[in-house]
Amino acid sequence: MSAGHEFLKKLEAVEAEIRASSDKIAALQGTLPDENREEFSSRIDMATGSATLILSGKCKQFRNLCLKNIHETTGSSKESVDGKEDETAGFPTTREDLEGFWDMISLPIQKVRDGFTSIERLKENGWKENDNMEELKSARTDKTMSTNTTKTQGLRKKPLASKNDNNIPSPGDLQRREKLARQKEEARQRLLEFKKAARDKMLQQNNGDAEAVGAE
């Protein structure tokens, strides 16, 4: 079985599922209560409209790609869903192409399913919004945010672990410390020598000035 046949079979199953669910949801228009009828009717129209859009758009494009792959694999006569000229005729359609397109349309297909599911749950609840579920969801969200904040604060307060539990410096640490100590000592010696040289120079200048005054 070619990749085109494989994905075409998946597509046809999804299309049949969406059409059946769309017809079922559309039939609920006659069961709507007078209260909020327009709102619920609009939701049903949006759900069935999204289903029609995905079937006539992305699903049809994917069907054409599947048929193109079948034609290229088997050498059979090429079919077309809408009879239009194939813009990708010069490029082969591979399994990877079909897998990528299938992944791309899976998300909007799932959104259509979720839309149908929300309307079915609304009907099961007597066409009333389930406020308790919304409050529970909000409470869970607040609790999760609070827990995450507490964990973050705890992590900030937690002291950094020592690389050496016994506080025993490694040989590398000892070498770095000794080198730093030598550098500090050398800098201190240079400073002392500089101060001594400056002091000697000042004394020489003072002595020279005194001799000059005595000669006058």
On whether the CB atoms of residues 116 and 47 are closer than 8 A, the answer is: yes
Tokens of 210: 């005194």
Pure H helices in 57-170: 58-74, 95-124, 131-157
Answer whether residue 136 shows pLDDT above 50. Answer: no
Alpha-carbon gap, residue 63 to 118, rounded angstroms: 28
Choose among 51, 164, 179: nearest CA to 114: 51
On whether the CB atoms of residues 8 and 1 are closer than 8 A, the answer is: no
Choose among 146, 51, 60: nearest CA to 101: 60
Tokens of 47: 């759900």
- Averaged confidence pLDDT in the chain: 79
Alpha-carbon gap, residue 124 to 117, rounded angstroms: 11
Q: What is the pLDDT of residues 61-108, one digit of tens each?
A: 999 999 999 999 877 655 555 555 555 556 799 999 999 999 999 999
Least confident of 121-130, 142-151, 158-167, 196-205: 158-167
Residue 163 has a pLDDT of: 46
Q: What percent of the chain has pLDDT over 70?
A: 68
Instruction: Name residue 199's amino acid.
Output: R
At residue 162 the predicted structure's pLDDT band, cuts being 50, 70 and 90, is very low
Which residues does 123 contact at the CB level (< 8 Å), separation at least 6?
A: 28, 31
Residue 6 has a pLDDT of: 96
Alpha-carbon gap, residue 22 to 131, rounded angstroms: 26
- Which sequence spans correspond to the domains of the chain? 3-75+94-133, 173-215
On whether the CB atoms of residues 112 and 46 are closer than 8 A, the answer is: no
Residue 164 has a pLDDT of: 47
On whether the CB atoms of residues 69 and 6 are closer than 8 A, the answer is: no
Alpha-carbon gap, residue 46 to 111, rounded angstroms: 12
